[in-house]
Chains A and B, each alone.
Chain A
Amino acid sequence: MESGLVFFLQLLGSGIAVGCLYALIALGFVLIFKATEIVNFAQGEVIMLSAFICYFLVTTFHIPFFPALVITCIAAALLGVLTERLVLRPMLGEPVFAVVMVTIGLSIFFRSMAGILFGHNNLVFPNPFPSETLKLGGIVLSQTQIWIMVSTFVLITAFFIFFKYSRIGLAMRGTADDQRVALLMGVSVKRVFSLIWALSFATAAVAGIFLANVMVINLGLAFVAISAFPAIVLGGLESIPGAIIGGLAIGIIENLAGGYLDQMIGGGIKDVTPFVVLFLLLMFRPYGLFGKKEIERV
């Protein structure tokens, strides 16, 4: 193959892998926002906590990687249920501003808990996958990258089937659409909310565990949530397909920009690109590519 094309595909491939992580993080935000209209600022801390939990399951308790991943997701889901029940439900009907402040408080609480429980050191996740790379016609991907893509694909397909075909999934979409009417249909909105927090936290956990595989684990891992913001804004806060496409798009764009422009201008482009995209987007389509301009039909 021509080397220019290979270079492009290589950037594309690793861009998709990064994009999958952005997509998962964005999905965590969007699930909660779509159903409850809350932007959960503690989402990054859940990512970080999950990375720690999985790390200790694997190292201290010698649990193999995939069972550890499942256990971590279950733990995160339980944390989601508890958070909704103890922190958010009492806030029902309070002004949005107050609820947002509560989630910021929650993020601080989670971070200090993590500091107390897991310490402030940098930890390195023992690579669960063989270190041989995979070569697909010239482009080289690590097994971690492959697993990130496979897991994201499986998770998103599962979500799709769940929301499209299951009774509870339908009830959740109805609740997101019109909570009051959903109540009249006999949907227990309380149960829908706690399930949504569980799903969102579990998704954040998957993101956190894979991030732990490509970054060092420390309290700062919580801040990767911010780097997913361009993806969220690109997709629109209320759109699940938007979160996925937005995440992938930002991953690919930043990788391409890094690959081509860094050589010319020298370092740093990769980290800035998503925010440049974000800035342009906010100028031209502030509600995101897939977000809705509110159409009110009276």
Chain B
Amino acid sequence: MLQVNNIEVVYNKVILVLKGISLEIQDGGVVALLGANGAGKTTTLRAISGILDVENGELEGGQIDFMGRPIHNLDPDEIVKLGISMVPEGRRVFRDLTVLENLLIGAHTRMDKEGIRADLEMIIRYFPVLKERKGQLAIYLSGGEQQMLVIGRALISRPKLMMLDEPSLGLAPLLVTEIFNILRSINGEQRTGILLVEQNARIALNFARYGYIMENGKIMLDGPSEELVKNEDVKEFYLGVKDDLAKKSYAEVKHYKRRKRWLS
């Protein structure tokens, strides 16, 4: 469904941030994009959504195809209409709009009033808390509710592909599990493809069927999730399971603390 082909992105005309990224998502697929801070994950999503220019960024090379047609020259509204919607990082609700209005603005590209109403019902089935909060300003929701709201807001445009940027950030583990369960049922029932950006590799690889690992604007590694979780490097750097390493740093911390106490 989506092919990203060797794209390069430059910010402020000088900083080369993506150095040839390629990735692919099948119809209804669930793919994770992992990497440390500053690897270029958000930039990749911005390039797909067509919103680089407001960030002073530019696609310098490569090609992005969606459903068999190039989209890298399209305006963001056309890309939404084709069926890609994005849940930006940091739970960016519209603070001055109510919960219902936040959802409705997500349907901006749609004209079928009946369909929108039906899909509002669908979203409330997935996120029942939003119903009670319908008339409240979005800024008064809790973090978890805001995350649900922004997912609902992306869903109401009826995307074929939904891209989520670090939806787990800053949420309690139980809530993260709940949100990922809902995402899984959305993927199963609506056949919505999902491109998930995460720093939390454990959650992401557990959720996605395929993963890409980014470092410094390049894809270092990719493969089915069950292979990635077995990979030694992934284990060490992204899942943090190399035991003696963990112990060693713990000992160092303790040593440092002891020393500090002694000094003071």
Chain A interface residues toward B at CB < 8 A: 93, 167, 170-171, 173-174, 176-188, 297
Residues 94 to 120 of chain B near chain A (Cβ within 8 Å): 94-97, 101, 104-106, 108-109
- A184 to chain B: closest residue by CB: B86
Residue in A171, A176, A183, A297 whose CB lies within 8 Å of B54: A183
Q: Is the CB of A188 within 8 A of B97?
A: no
Residue in B49, B96, B97 whose CB lies within 8 Å of A184: B49
CB-CB < 8 A to B54: which residues of A? 179-180, 183
A2 to B27: give the CA distance in the assembly, Å: 80
Pairs A–B under 8 Å by Cβ, sample size 26: A93-B56, A167-B108, A170-B104, A170-B108, A174-B94, A174-B97, A174-B105, A177-B94, A177-B95, A177-B96, A177-B97, A178-B92, A178-B94, A180-B51, A180-B54, A181-B88, A181-B94, A182-B105, A183-B76, A183-B77, A184-B85, A185-B106, A185-B108, A187-B105, A187-B108, A188-B77
- A183 to chain B: closest residue by CB: B76
Q: Is the CB of A297 within 8 A of B139?
A: yes
- B56 to chain A: closest residue by CB: A93
- B106 to chain A: closest residue by CB: A185
Q: Is B195 an interface residue (CB 8 A)?
A: no
Q: How far is the CB of B87 from chain A (nearest CB, A)?
A: 9
Chain B interface residues toward A at CB < 8 A: 49, 51, 54, 56, 75-77, 79-81, 85-86, 88, 92, 94-97, 101, 104-106, 108-109, 139, 153, 157
CB-CB < 8 A to B109: which residues of A? 185-186
Q: Is the CB of B80 within 8 A of A185?
A: yes
Q: Is the CB of A186 within 8 A of B108?
A: yes
A113 to B56: give the CA distance in the assembly, Å: 36
- B170 to chain A: closest residue by CB: A298
Q: How far is the CB of A93 from chain B (nearest CB, A)?
A: 7
Q: How far is the CB of A112 from chain B (nearest CB, A)?
A: 35
Complex A-B, nearest 6 residue pairs according to Cβ-Cβ distance, in ascending order: A186-B80, A186-B109, A186-B77, A177-B94, A174-B105, A183-B76
Known: A186-B80, A188-B75, A297-B139. A180 touches B105 (CB 8 A): no
CB-CB < 8 A to A183: which residues of B? 51, 54, 76-77
A182 to B51: give the CA distance in the assembly, Å: 11
Q: Is the CB of B101 within 8 A of A181?
A: no
Secondary structure at chain A's binding surface: helix, strand, loop or mixed? Answer: helix
CB-CB < 8 A to B153: which residues of A? 185
A184 to B139: give the CA distance in the assembly, Å: 19
A187 to B92: give the CA distance in the assembly, Å: 16
A180 to B90: give the CA distance in the assembly, Å: 13
Q: How far is the CB of A115 from chain B (nearest CB, A)?
A: 39
A185 to B109: give the CA distance in the assembly, Å: 8
Q: Is the CB of A184 within 8 A of B56?
A: no
Q: How far is the CB of B14 from chain A (nearest CB, A)?
A: 16
- Known contacts A170-B105, A178-B94, then 18 further A-B pairs from the complex at CB < 8 Å, ordered by chain A residue: A93-B56, A170-B104, A171-B108, A173-B96, A178-B92, A180-B88, A180-B92, A181-B88, A181-B94, A182-B94, A182-B105, A183-B54, A184-B80, A185-B105, A185-B153, A186-B77, A186-B81, A186-B157
Q: How far is the CB of A195 from chain B (nearest CB, A)?
A: 14
Known: A178-B92, A180-B54, A186-B109. A173 touches B75 (CB 8 A): no
A177 to B153: give the CA distance in the assembly, Å: 15
CB-CB < 8 A to A177: which residues of B? 94-97
- B90 to chain A: closest residue by CB: A298
A177 to B105: give the CA distance in the assembly, Å: 12
A65 to B54: give the CA distance in the assembly, Å: 44
CB-CB < 8 A to A176: which residues of B? 96
Q: Is the CB of A187 within 8 A of B77?
A: yes
A186 to B108: give the CA distance in the assembly, Å: 6
- A191 to chain B: closest residue by CB: B77
Q: How far is the CB of A288 from chain B (nearest CB, A)?
A: 16
A93 to B12: give the CA distance in the assembly, Å: 12
CB-CB < 8 A to B101: which residues of A? 170, 173
CB-CB < 8 A to A93: which residues of B? 56
A182 to B157: give the CA distance in the assembly, Å: 13
A52 to B157: give the CA distance in the assembly, Å: 47
CB-CB < 8 A to B106: which residues of A? 185
Interface centre among A181, A182, A187, A188 (most CB of B within 10 A): A181
Interface centre among A177, A182, A183, A185 (most CB of B within 10 A): A185
